[in-house]
């Protein structure tokens, strides 16, 4: 009796062990299971949750086109070229914003998010992750890659003809229109996107009411003289389209505080400083970030690097946005991007080692964590020479 019980038990145990070995990972080398711990299998930002925080996900080649004219920091683009892939880390602030975007009531006025954090903590990449989500969820994307390029490194200026005392940034406006067109190609083909009013540019040039939105964009690209006015007109049209329910919009602006910093590097003929409230482009994006429209969400970043070095005193939104900016944006949802948590730090170091960027030596993680203060940018610099 006991013998048969024992043999049955042994047989059942052996069978279950055999079943386990079919799916066991014990035979695979240790490096592969480490790979899976820092890489996520979920490459679709629509499905990212707090469980995926700390893991890297890969942006497929087709979807990288949204960043063709800007959106990813230069140092990150160089890293992506060296590593042969574009991988973003899924972090808590971006997942929080994405969850909010899924749950917002779009019939109510627009919700404004302000992402802030210390220098090099990952605000621009957080915005890039949100942009990828918006692209996948078929939002109409209005994305300004870096306001500092306009306020502190403008290509060309000219006096505005229609507005008294205003300055146009022609090349920058046209470049932005090209960027807008490339990000929203699949949506601009929609015949429902029509202009609601006539635009008279000069005696012979008009864009009539009812013509497609892409015509307005093309006019701005072809005629640099009217590019800034096109942008202002486009902003109004987008608000009108969202209000009437034709499309869901996401306005994403990196370095938003540059719109309120008075000491720009935009100079008139006699080296006079032009404040941002006298630049035509500012009008467009300040109107887009108001809460007088619905069916949209606004995500902005405030960054110390967008202003002059002598005023890099605090990373907090009230200081960076200044009085006018804060009154314009109030009420907003503040999103704090912190330095790496220990889990995120280990994940990042594992990724660098797997990509053969850094060679392992004993106590590497502890040493680099102390030297870089867990700051992502500092870590990138330290690992560059390792």
Binders in 319-378 for another protein, by CB under 8 A: 356-357, 359, 361-364, 367
User: Which two three-digit tokens encode residue 79?
Assistant: 């890293």
Report the alpha-carbon distance of residue 279 to residue 284 in Å, rounded. Answer: 10
Q: Which is nearer to another protein, 261 or 345 (CB)?
A: 345
Name the residue among 210, 138, 147, 222 with its Cα closest to residue 177: 222
Contact 348, 54 (CB under 8 A): no
Report the alpha-carbon distance of residue 38 to residue 104 in Å, rounded. Answer: 31
CB of 378 to another protein, least distance (A): 14
User: Which two three-digit tokens encode residue 345?
Assistant: 């730090």
Specify the stretch interacting with another protein by CB under 8 A; choose among 79-87, 118-126, 210-218, 255-263: 79-87
Binders in 131-150 for another protein, by CB under 8 A: none
DSSP string, 33-64: HHHHHHB-S---GGG--GGGTT-EEEPPTGGG
3-state SS, residue 189: coil
Report the alpha-carbon distance of residue 70 to residue 65 in Å, rounded. Answer: 10
Specify the stretch interacting with another protein by CB under 8 A; choose among 76-84, 131-139, 177-185, 269-277: 76-84
Q: How many residues bind another protein (CB under 8 A)?
A: 15
Report the alpha-carbon distance of residue 386 to residue 374 in Å, rounded. Answer: 17
Contact 124, 72 (CB under 8 A): yes
Q: Which is nearer to another protein, 346 or 364 (CB)?
A: 364
CB atoms within 10 A of CB 312: 12
Q: Which is nearer to another protein, 28 or 363 (CB)?
A: 363
The residues, any chain, with a CB within 8 Å of residue 333's CB and separated by 6 or more, are 100, 111, 112, 113, 114
CB of 354 to another protein, least distance (A): 12
Q: Would you give the binding string for another protein spanning residues 83-122, x where CB under 8 A is met?
A: xx--------------------------------------
Phi, psi values for residue 159, rounded to 5°: -70, 140
CB of 129 to another protein, least distance (A): 25
Residue 29 is a binding residue for another protein (CB under 8 A): no
Name the residue among 362, 361, 381 with its Cα closest to residue 371: 381
CB of 374 to another protein, least distance (A): 18
Q: Which is nearer to another protein, 72 or 274 (CB)?
A: 72
Residue 31 is a binding residue for another protein (CB under 8 A): no
Q: Which is nearer to another protein, 187 or 382 (CB)?
A: 382
CB of 287 to another protein, least distance (A): 43
Residues in the chain: 386
Residue 385 is a binding residue for another protein (CB under 8 A): yes
Q: Which is nearer to another protein, 78 or 200 (CB)?
A: 78
Q: Residue numbers of the site for another protein (CB under 8 A)?
A: 78, 82-84, 356-357, 359, 361-364, 367, 384-386
């Amino acid at each position: 009796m006991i013998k048969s019980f024992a043999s049955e038990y042994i047989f059942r145990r052996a069978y279950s062990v055999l079943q386990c070995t079919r799916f066991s990972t014990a035979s695979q080398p240790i490096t592969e299971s480490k790979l899976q711990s820092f890489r996520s299998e979920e490459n679709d930002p629509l499905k990212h949750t707090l469980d995926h925080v700390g893991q890297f996900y890969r942006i497929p080649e087709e979807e990288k086109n949204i960043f063709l004219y800007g959106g990813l920091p230069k140092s990150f683009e160089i890293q992506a070229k060296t590593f042969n892939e574009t991988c973003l880390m899924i972090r808590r602030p971006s997942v929080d914003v994405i969850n909010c975007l899924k749950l917002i009531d779009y019939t109510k006025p627009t919700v404004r998010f302000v992402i802030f954090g210390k220098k090099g903590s990952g605000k621009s990449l957080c915005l890039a992750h949100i942009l990828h989500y918006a692209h996948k969820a078929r939002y109409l994307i209005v994305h300004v890659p870096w306001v500092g390029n306009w306020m502190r490194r403008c290509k060309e200026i000219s006096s505005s003809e229609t507005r008294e005392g205003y300055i146009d940034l022609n090349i920058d406006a046209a470049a932005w229109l090209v960027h807008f067109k490339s990000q929203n190609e699949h949506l601009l083909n929609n015949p429902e996107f029509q202009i609601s009013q006539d635009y008279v540019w000069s005696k012979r040039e008009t864009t009539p009411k009812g013509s497609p939105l892409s015509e307005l964009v093309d006019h701005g690209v072809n005629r640099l003289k009217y590019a800034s006015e096109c942008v202002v007109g486009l902003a109004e049209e987008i608000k009108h389209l969202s209000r009437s329910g034709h499309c869901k919009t996401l306005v994403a602006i990196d370095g938003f505080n540059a719109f309120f910093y008075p000491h720009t590097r935009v100079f008139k003929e006699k080296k006079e400083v032009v404040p941002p409230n006298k630049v035509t482009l500012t009008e467009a994006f300040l109107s887009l970030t108001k809460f007088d429209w619905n069916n949209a969400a606004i995500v902005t970043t405030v960054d110390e690097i967008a202003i002059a070095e002598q005023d890099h005193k605090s990373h907090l939104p009230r200081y960076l946005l200044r009085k006018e900016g804060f009154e314009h944006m109030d009420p907003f949802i503040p999103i704090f991007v912190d330095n790496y948590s220990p889990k995120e730090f280990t994940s990042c170091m594992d990724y660098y080692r797997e990509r053969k960027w850094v060679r392992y030596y004993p106590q590497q993680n502890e040493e680099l964590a102390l030297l870089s203060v867990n700051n992502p940018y500092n870590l990138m610099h330290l690992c560059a020479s390792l």
